[in-house]
Amino acid sequence: MVSVTELHLCYLCPRLLFHHRRQNMGKSGVEHIGSRSGYLQGTILHEILEEVHTDLSGKGDNELHAALIEALLSSPDTREVQFHSLVLNHYVLKKKQKIKTSGVFPLQDALRIWEKQLFSCVDRELEHKDTSNKPNIIQIFQSSKQTLICDFESKKRLKIRGEPDAVFFDSVEKEYVIWEFKGMKDVHKERVLMQVALYAWLLKKTLGISSRATIFVFENENPIWHCDLDEINTKKEEIGKLFEMYCLVLDAVADGDGSTLPHTKDRSVCVQCPISCVSFPLTLSHLSHQDE
């Protein structure tokens, strides 16, 4: 089974994936090479949002599901306070032992950004729906824990698996909206775009529905990146080549020789990479990218 995370790593650098598979470099560290972290504790934020989205979708705690939906459908005057206190009391506070003092305000800011986006999704749906009919709203929250599996036939048969951070169903456009949360500070749009394009490819193959995406880069000055259907579809055109490259890496791993695999296209990644296979001189601009 091939994960979207591994494919994404292959997109970042085929050689890095080769070394990762040979040496088992550890998943979480390696996928963040080339990205800077700030004060936001991304893992904790992911855990909180995963729990809330699971409950929103009705696949988690029934009482919390009912309370969250009720808060979302309450009057605009009280909704924000009601919803925010539910998230704080039932999801955030139980993680308080793990939250660093320096991480409190960034977490609070990230949750506000996420809530604002959530409310705008619900409002958009309510504009076209009967507000007294709760199932109409509940259906927009797809389970964030859904695992999508699909085969790709090439020289090799790849079974691909992916778990998006959150998925909405937009009943107006009849398409999915993939939400991807990034707790890192310095995130490259091109790379995340490939990750969401892979999820979109899986959703289309498994459920037959097209997707657009919203990428949350919580510590960025501009924290919300919307990717429309065209942007996602253009990126999806590169997926076939990525799968071919992944197969080449598998062959190289089996042969124990990664010397013919291409280097990363983004040389600034090499500055942080523990594999010193780089065979080109790094310029000051590559280094300064990391110090911005």
Q: How many helices (H) and strands (E) does the chain have?
A: 13, 8
Distance of alpha carbon 61 from alpha carbon 52, whole angstroms = 10
Stretch 224-263: interaction string toward ligand SF4, x if CB under 6 A: ---------------------------------------x
Q: How big is the chain, counted in residues? A: 292
User: Cβ-closest residue to ligand SF4?
Assistant: 273
Termini Cα distance of the chain? 38
Of 20 and 90, which has the nearer Cβ to ligand SF4?
Answer: 20
| 275 part of the interface to ligand SF4, by CB under 6 A | yes
Single out the segment in contact with ligand SF4 by CB under 6 A; choices: 138-146, 179-187, 271-279, 284-292.
Answer: 271-279
| 278 part of the interface to ligand SF4, by CB under 6 A | yes
Question: What tokens were used for 75?
Answer: 């009057």
Q: Which one of 109, 210, 277, 286 is in contact with ligand SF4 (CB under 6 A)?
A: 277
| 269 part of the interface to ligand SF4, by CB under 6 A | yes
Q: Which one of 15, 21, 65, 90 is in contact with ligand SF4 (CB under 6 A)?
A: 15
Of 81 and 287, which has the nearer Cβ to ligand SF4?
Answer: 287
232 CB contacts (<8 Å, ≥6 apart)? 193, 196, 197, 200, 210, 211, 212, 213
Edge-to-edge order in the sheet of strand 2-3: 2-3, 157-162, 148-153
Q: Phi-psi category of 169—alpha, beta or left, where left has phi over 0 and alpha has psi -120 to 50?
A: beta
| 273 part of the interface to ligand SF4, by CB under 6 A | yes
Kindly report the number of other CB atoms within 10 A of residue 121's CB atom. 18
Q: Which one of 264, 265, 281, 291 is in contact with ligand SF4 (CB under 6 A)?
A: 264
Site of interaction with ligand SF4 (CB under 6 A): 13, 15-16, 19, 263-264, 269-270, 273, 275, 277-278
